[in-house]
Structure 1
Amino acid sequence: MSPASARTSADEVLAKAAEISGVDLRSAELIRDGSHAIYRLADDIVARIGHPGSSDDAQRELRISQWLNDSGIPTVEAVTSLTQPIIVADRPVTWWRLIPDHRPSTPGELGAMLRALHALPPPTEFELPAYDPFTGLDERIDSAGMLDHDDRTWLLQHYTRLRAQYDELPNNLSPCVIHGDAWQGNLVVPPSGIPTVLDLDKVSIGRREWDLTQLGVDYTDFSRVPHDDYQSFVTAYGGDDVTQWPGFRTLADIQELRWVAFAVAQSTGNGKAALQAKHRIACLRGQVPRPWQWEAL
C-alpha cells in the first residue's frame, strides 16, 4: 500500500472514530504516518491509530500510561472522558492529551528516566509481553519488492546470524521493564520542565541493555551524540556504559537492521525512502565507513 493510500485509510478511520466519540475534526492535522498514524486535533487532543488487529496492544498502552503515571514516571496521558479504544475497520483509535511546545530530552534526562523505569517492579494488574527485537524483521525483508536478489539474500543471512548471536548473549543483568524504543524523541520536555514518556507500544519485559543501545549506537556509529553528552547519559543511568558490555555489538547490529528494514518497508512508491534504504544496506554491508549519515524518514 502506498503512503497516500495508507493516509487516506487512516483519515477514514479517524473520521468514523471521531463521529462515534463526538470529537471535533475541523482542525485535524496529520503529524506522523508510520507504524501508527498520529493526528493533532482541537481541544489539545492527539489521535493515535494503530494497524489492523492491534486493539489488544492499544488497550495495553492505555493501561501502561496509567500505571507509569501512578508509579511516578510522567507519561503521556489518555483522555479519560472519551471511550478508549474505538475500533474502526479493525484498527484501534486512542485519544491522548497533547504535550505542548516540547523539546526532545537531553541524554542525561533520558538516562535518568531509564534508570527509574528499569527499577520498577512489573505491573501486577496486567501482563507485559516479552520483548523480541526480531518481530516482523524477516517478513519485511523477504517481501520487499525494492530489494534485488543479492541484497535480499545478504540481509536474510545477516538476520539469521544475529538471531543466533542474540540467543547466546551473556545474561548478567536480569530482565526488567523496558521502553523498547528509548531515544530522545520519545522522552520530551514541555515548558513545565518535566520529562514525559511517549510511544508506549513497545513497553515490555526485556534486556535493560536494549534500552541503552539506541543512544549508544548514535554515539559510536553515527557520531550524533558528543562525548560529554554521552557521558552524561551514562552517569545519569548509574554508571553502566552499554558500549563496554560484551553484547553491545550484537544489539547495535540488530538495532541498525531494524532501521534498515523500516526504510525498506517505506520504499514502495517512495523514491527517497528507496534511496535511503539502499544507502543503509550499503553501510551494513561494509561499503560505507563509519560514522554513517542516515536521513530520517
Structure 2
Amino acid sequence: MISPSPSPFTEARARALLAQACASAGLRPEAGVRLLALGENAVFELGDPAVVAKVGRAAALTARAARELAVARWLDGAGIPVVRPADAQVEAQRGGVITAEGHPVTFWRRLAPAVRPADSTDLAPLLRALHGLTAPAAPGEPLPRRDLLAPVERWLRAAEGHLDPGDAAFLLARRAELAAAVQGLTPALPPGVIHGDALPRNVHVEQGGPVLLDLENVADDLREHDLVTLALSRDRYGVPEQEYLAFTRAYGWDVRDWEGCAVLRGARETASAAWVAQQVPGNPAALAEFRRRVASLREADAGVRWFAF
C-alpha cells in the first residue's frame, strides 16, 4: 500500500529551499539563479559564485547526498575525472550536507562550458577506469549495493491521486518479482565499483576531456548494471545502433551476450517507468509518458519508444 503523497516539489519550492541553504552556507548569488534540471533533485546554476546546487526532492535523500559528496572526493583522489564538491566556496559543506526544511542541498564546482555533447564513446573509457577500482571500506562507510527498485514506491507515492491505481499496483508487483530475480543473477564480470546510472547525459566533455557527473548512485555491485543502461537506451530511447556498437567496442564487451541481461533490463525498465511518476503532478506530458511506459510493459512490447524527462 502506498502512503500519502508529500507536498509537491516544484521549481518554486526548490528555489525557496535553495535560498535557505545559501543563507546557511554564506552564499549570496549575485547573478540570476538558473534551473538546469528538475527530477530527483532540482539542479541550479548560481551564476556568481561559480557553483551548481542540487536540492534533494525529499529528506529521505539526505544520506545519499552525503555519500555522493564523499564519493566525489574519493574518486577525484583516485584520478577519475569527476565533478567535484565546491568545498573551497562552501566551507560549511565540509561538515556534511546542508539541509533546508529537511531537504538535502549540496554545492558543486561549476564545470567549464562543454566543447561538444557527450556520446557513448566518451562514457566507455570512464566506465573502464571506474570499473578498474577496488571498492574502498570508506568513504565514510562501505559503498551500498545498487538497488534499482528500492525507490519505486516513493516515486509512485509522489503522484498518488494522479495515477491509475491499477498502474501503480502493476509496477509494485513487477518490482517484487524482479527484485527476487535480480538476487539470483550470476554475473559475467567481477562485481565492483559502478556508476549506477551510466548514460552519456551524465558525462560532460570539457576542454580537458570527459568528466563523470551525478555520482549519487555509485555502488559496489554487478558491473553489468552500468552496461545494461545503454543497451536499454538503444531499445527504448533511440540511441542509434552504430553508437551502441561503438560503446561496446570501446568498453570491450556487449552485455546482451549475458544470460542475465533480460532480468536486469526488466528491473531498470520498471524503475524508469516509476521514476516518471514523481513528475506527474501538474505535468500532463509526464502523465502521458508514464502511461506509455506502463502500457508497453503490460503488453511486453519492447519496441515502444520512450521519451526522456
Q: What CA distance in whole angstroms lies between the structure 2 residues aligned with 1:268 and 1:145?
A: 9
| Counterpart residue number, 1:233 | 247
Distance 1:247 1:195, change over 3 A: same
Identity %: 34
Q: What CA distance in whole angstroms lies between the structure 2 residues aligned with 1:15 and 1:93?
A: 10
Aligned residues: 292
Asked if 1 retains the 8 angstrom alpha-carbon contact of 2:42 and 2:55, the reply is yes
Normalised by the size of structure 2, how large is the TM-score? 0.87
1:25 Cα deviation from its structure 2 partner: 2.5
Structure 1 residues 87-96 or 68-77, which shifts more?
87-96
| Counterpart residue number, 1:162 | 178
Q: What CA distance in whole angstroms lies between the structure 1 residues aligned with 2:23 and 2:195?
A: 33
1:290 Cα deviation from its structure 2 partner: 4.4
Asked if 2 retains the 8 angstrom alpha-carbon contact of 1:178 and 1:203, the reply is yes
1:20 Cα deviation from its structure 2 partner: 2.5
Asked if 2 retains the 8 angstrom alpha-carbon contact of 1:138 and 1:159, the reply is no
Distance 1:155 1:16, change over 3 A: closer
Q: Does 1:130 pair with 2:142?
A: no
Q: What CA distance in whole angstroms lies between the structure 2 residues aligned with 1:209 and 1:13?
A: 37
| Counterpart residue number, 2:3 | none
* 3-state SS of paired residue (1:195): strand
| Counterpart residue number, 2:67 | 60
1:226 Cα deviation from its structure 2 partner: 2.3
**Which ranges of structure 2 fall in alignment gaps of 5 or more residues?**
1-5
Q: Does 1:189 pair with 2:205?
A: yes
Q: Deviations over 1:122-155 (max 9, x none)?
A: 1243221122111121454477333334433432
Q: What residue identity is the alignment partner of 1:37? A: A
Q: What CA distance in whole angstroms lies between the structure 2 residues aligned with 1:115 and 1:172?
A: 15
Q: Deviations over 1:25-45 (max 9, x none)?
A: 241111112111111012321
Q: What residue identity is the alignment partner of 2:307? A: E
Q: Deviations over 1:143-202 (max 9, x none)?
A: 733333443343233222212321221234332011111100101101x14110111111
1:276 Cα deviation from its structure 2 partner: 1.1
Asked if 1 retains the 8 angstrom alpha-carbon contact of 2:137 and 2:143, the reply is no
1:252 Cα deviation from its structure 2 partner: 1.0
Asked if 2 retains the 8 angstrom alpha-carbon contact of 1:61 and 1:200, the reply is yes
| Counterpart residue number, 2:54 | 48
Q: Does 1:22 pair with 2:26?
A: yes
Distance 1:139 1:15, change over 3 A: closer
Asked if 1 retains the 8 angstrom alpha-carbon contact of 2:237 and 2:307, the reply is no
1:53 Cα deviation from its structure 2 partner: 4.2
Q: What CA distance in whole angstroms lies between the structure 2 residues aligned with 1:147 and 1:53?
A: 22
Q: Does 1:97 pair with 2:81?
A: no
Q: Does 1:199 pair with 2:214?
A: yes
Asked if 2 retains the 8 angstrom alpha-carbon contact of 1:104 and 1:186, the reply is no
Distance 1:225 1:270, change over 3 A: closer
Distance 1:70 1:87, change over 3 A: same
Q: What residue identity is the alignment partner of 1:30? A: L
Equivalent positions of 1:1-297 (< 5 A) are 6-26=10-30, 27-41=32-46, 42-50=48-56, 51-81=58-88, 82=90, 83-84=92-93, 85-102=97-114, 103-126=116-139, 127-141=142-156, 144-190=160-206, 192-219=207-234, 221-222=235-236, 224-237=238-251, 239-286=252-299, 289-297=301-309
Normalised by the size of structure 1, how large is the TM-score? 0.90
1:73 Cα deviation from its structure 2 partner: 0.8
Distance 1:150 1:233, change over 3 A: same
* 3-state SS of paired residue (1:31): strand
* 3-state SS of paired residue (2:59): coil
**Which ranges of structure 1 fall in alignment gaps of 5 or more residues?**
none
1:296 Cα deviation from its structure 2 partner: 2.2
Q: Deviations over 1:28-79 (max 9, x none)?
A: 1111121111110123210111231433322221121111111111100111
